[in-house]
Copies of this chain bind each other. A is one copy, B any other.
Amino acid sequence: MNDFIFHNPDKVYFGKGQMKNLPQELLNFGKKVLLVYGGGSIKKNGLYDEIVSLAKSADIKLFELSGVEPNPRHTTVNKGAAVCKTEGIDVILAAGGGSTIGCAKGIAAAALTDNGDVWPLVLGGVWVTKALPVVAILTNAATGSEMDAWAVISNMNTNEKIGLGGSALIPKAAFENPEYSYSLPPYQTACGAFDIFNHVLDNYYFAGDATFDMLLEMQEAVMRTVVKWTPVAMKEPQNYEARANLMWASSMALNTILDGGTVHGCACHMMEHELSAYYDITHGHGLAILTPRWLSYISDESTAPSIYRLGKKVFGVEEGLSAAKGAERAIKAVSEFCFETLGLKSTLTDLHIDNKHFREMAEHACQGGSISGIRCRTAQDIEKIYEMCL
């Protein structure tokens, strides 16, 4: 078992009646607020009007950056940072899903640099300890950005999609109202849910012996939640219980309460970021295609017992099988969850992706070295897994 530090000072307001607390959380930092949002869904569901009205009532001055892309671009981030510098913004309010919150975090970091450019920070791999405060209103259960220390920024000129991390990027407060995710269509619901599932899976022990039992237990609890409630949310988009379970699962998956000294591999995330960077596909769908193949690829004598445990605990795979057979059944259960229950297309070919850039993407994913994790570490490994996804 490894030593670890747990520290997450984010203050989460969860539920239907929490927005009344928004003005005070913003005023903790000042009166000039940059509101960041995406394509305008918050205008349709009333959230935008609610924010404007709350701001007005508290004499808060709102500035706006709209049109944040899924897979937010560094150019958009820089536009926001320029507003912060020009207007002397005190706090950034992100209203949306992980892309919008990630964009806000990028702005928060870039706004405190001399040239207001986020990309050198991203490329430099700096751990950000100085940034403007971010407050998040979450509308999509998926990335965990509402409670984590990360943003993922894309540069479409260079086909790069890279994480930017830092303790200063953890939101100061997050508002999570499951009702705001009612309007998400089944496909986005499924992709978001699989993102959550994979965040937990990436932290799961595959070392054969479970050394921190309670961590595994809690990880399995969150994965079972996703498996149970996602199909409900897809069928009944306004089912509060389903949306609430998924939304809190999203936060639990990446607020580091499930880390506890585990070796955070992120293999599937590293591989998927390349797919999104090259083809701009939906992150959770890319993960769903990769994950069962990755599990097959890493399955061997040392990892099969853990994969089998996952199958038993999360998908109800029967007891009493050999580790190899059990792991096989577990992987089949993960596949069925992705491609039957969630109804996601199962191959890269289905998404019109061929092997043209596989080598380049694989090398890119390891940045010339290797990724951390079990068995799948080198560009050769990654290329083979991409091939398995065709």
Interface hit among A52-60, A180-188, A207-215: A207-215
Interchain residue pairs with CB less than 8 A apart (20): A1-B240, A1-B241, A1-B244, A3-B14, A3-B17, A4-B15, A5-B11, A5-B18, A6-B12, A6-B14, A7-B11, A7-B12, A9-B9, A212-B248, A213-B241, A214-B225, A214-B252, A217-B221, A217-B225, A221-B221
Contact residues on A (Cβ < 8 Å of other chain), bracket? 35 or more
Q: What is the oligomeric copy number?
A: 2
Chain A 1-32 interface residues, beta-carbon cutoff 8 Å to B: 1-18
A248: nearest chain-B partner, CB-CB: B214
Contact A6 B11 (CB under 8 A): yes
The residue in chain B whose Cβ has the minimal distance to the Cβ of A242 is B213
- A6 CB, nearest partner CB in chain B, Å: 4
Contacts of A220 in B (CB 8 A): 221
- Bound: A15/B1 CA distance, A: 9
Counting CB contacts under 8 A, is A374 at the interface?
Answer: no
Report Cα–Cα, A241/B260, bound state, in Å. 13
Question: What 6 pairs across the A-B complex have the smallest Cβ distances?
Answer: A3-B15, A217-B221, A9-B9, A7-B11, A214-B225, A6-B12
Given the interface pairs A214-B222, A228-B213, the reply to whether A14 lies near B5 with Cβ below 8 Å is: yes
Answer whether residue A224 sits at the interface, using C-beta atoms and an 8 A cutoff.
Answer: yes
Query: Which of B218, B229, B260 meets A218, CB within 8 Å?
Result: B218
* Residues of chain A at the chain B interface (Cβ within 8 Å): 1-18, 211-215, 217-218, 220-222, 224-225, 228-229, 240-241, 244-245, 248-249, 252, 257, 260-261
Assembly CA distance A235 to B260 (angstroms): 25
Smallest CB gap from A219: residue in B: B221
B contact residues around A15 at 8 Å (CB): 1-4, 261
> In whole angstroms, how far apart are the Cα atoms of A257 and B13 in the complex?
13
Chain B residues near A212: list those with CB within 8 A. Answer: 241, 244-245, 248
Q: Which residues of B contact A225 (CB under 8 A)?
A: 213-214, 217
| Complex partner residue of A8 from B8, B13, B240, B261, CB under 8 angstroms | B8
A10 — which chain B residues lie within 8 A by C-beta? 7
Q: Assess the B260–A248 pair: CB atoms within 8 A.
A: yes
Most buried by B among A3, A217, A224: A217
CB distance from A86 to the nearest CB of B (A): 33
- Min C-beta distance of A248 to chain B, whole Å: 6
On chain B, the residues within 8 Å of A224 by CB distance are 217
Is A13 touching B5 in the complex (CB atoms < 8 A)? yes
Task: Kindly name the residue among A4, A213, A215, A241 whose own CB sees the greatest number of chain B CB atoms within 10 A.
Answer: A213
* Contact residue among B5, B213, B229, B257 (Cβ-Cβ distance under 8 Å from A245): B213
Min CB–CB distance A142 → chain B (angstroms): 16
